[in-house]
Structure 1
Amino acid sequence: MNAQQPHVMRPGWTTRRIANPLMGGLHRLGFGVAGSRQLTVRGRKSGEPRRAPVNLLVVDGRHYLVAPRGHVQWTHNLRAAGEGQLGLGRRVSPFTADEVADERKPELLRAYLGRWGKQVGAFFRGVTADSTDEELRAVAADHPVFELSFSAGTRP
C-alpha cells in the first residue's frame, strides 16, 4: 500500500445505483454471475451489516476475496471484523477471513485476472493475467486479498 495514499477506485454512480443493487437482487434470488456472491460484513464504525457484491475466487480448493478497486469500505470492514458471510439465495455461508501477505498475491491476482480480467482489468493499471510475477508484486499492496475459512458443513 502506498504510504501516502492507499489505492482506491471508488465506484461511479451507475455502479452504485444500478449495477450493485441489480447484482444484490440477483444474489438474493439465488443467481450468481460468474461466481459472484453477496458479501455481508459488520461495519467497523456503525456495527450495522454492510453488503457488497464480490467475486469468489477458488484456487487449489481454497477460497479468496480480492478487492479489484483497492482499499474500499468492504476491505476495511472485513479487516476490522475478521469475519463475514457470503450469500446466494437462501444459502448463507459464514466465514472467518485472514488477509494474505503481498508476497503470496501474484498467483492469486493472476488467477483473479484470468477469470475476471475483462470485468475488472481497468482497476489494475495495465497488469493482466499474463503479467510477470514482478509486475503483479508491484500492484499487490494496492489490492487486498482475504483467504476465507468456512465452518465445517458449510460451503460457499
Structure 2
Amino acid sequence: MKPQDYSARTEYRPPAGWYRRLNWLGVLLTSVGLAPRDAVTLQVRGRRSGKLRRVPILRTRYQGKDYLVALAGESQWVRNVRAARGDAVIRRGSARHVRLEELAPADRPDIIAEYLRAGRRRSGADANANQARFYFGLDPDPSIDDIRTIVDHYPVFRVVHTS
C-alpha cells in the first residue's frame, strides 16, 4: 500500500480515512514499545476540545538530539503543539514530559535529510523513495538544496526532555 500523498503544498491536509481508522493501532504499538525503535506516541491536548490527543510519530535523532518532523505539514498535531506552547508527552513504554520547540525553516533541512536517511535504514530504498515522493514531493535521494525548497511546508520540532 502506498502512503497517502501529502506532497501538495497546502495549508492543511487531513489524513485519509484508512489512516484515521488505523491510528489506534499505531498508538498502541508505539506506546508499549512494539514498533520500530524510533517510533513514539506523541500526546498533546487538543486546542479546541482540551482532550488528550495521541498520534504515532517517528522520532529523528540528529547530532545527539531528538526531533519530530511533521510529514503532513500543517497537521492537527502541529496545531495542537503550537496551541499548547510545546507542552507534550512522548510515550514509548513509559511516558516522558517534553517541551517541543519549533525550528525556523532555515534550521530544518538537515533534520529532514536525516529523517529520510533513517527511513532508508529502517525500511529500505523503495519505501524511502515512496516516502520522499509522497510525503515531501521530492525525488529519491534528494540533495540538501532540494530539501531547502520544501522546508516552509514541513514543521520540525526539537524534543527537550523536561523530566
Relative to the length of structure 1, the TM-score reads 0.84
Q: Tell me if 1:14 matches 2:18.
A: yes
Matched to 2:135, the amino acid is: F
Counterpart of 2:149 in 1: which secondary structure? helix
Aligned to 1:125: 137
Aligned to 1:57: 60
Q: Alignment partner for residue 108 of structure 1, among 93, 107, 111?
A: 111
2:138–2:146: 8 Å Cα contact kept in structure 1? no
Structure 1: gaps of 5 or more residues: none
Aligned equivalents of 1:55, 1:132: Cα separation in 2: 22
Aligned equivalents of 1:88, 1:75: Cα separation in 2: 20
- State the aligned residue count: 145
Q: Percent identity?
A: 29
Range with greater deviation from structure 2 (70-79 or 28-37): 28-37
Aligned to 2:89: 85
CA RMSD across the alignment:
1.8
Give 1:69 shift: 1.1
Counterpart of 1:141 in 2: which secondary structure? helix
Q: Alignment partner for residue 42 of structure 1, among 36, 41, 45?
A: 45
1:44–1:80: 8 Å Cα contact kept in structure 2? yes
Distance 1:28 1:127, change over 3 A: same
Deviant stretches of 4+, over 4 Å: none
Aligned to 1:99: 102
Q: Tell me if 1:149 matches 2:160.
A: yes
Range with greater deviation from structure 2 (23-32 or 55-64): 23-32
Structure 2: gaps of 5 or more residues: 1-8, 121-126
Aligned to 1:136: 147
Relative to the length of structure 2, the TM-score reads 0.81
Matched to 2:25, the amino acid is: L
Matched to 1:33, the amino acid is: P
Aligned equivalents of 2:147, 2:19: Cα separation in 1: 26
Aligned equivalents of 1:64, 1:87: Cα separation in 2: 14
Distance 1:34 1:127, change over 3 A: farther
Range with greater deviation from structure 2 (110-119 or 36-45): 110-119
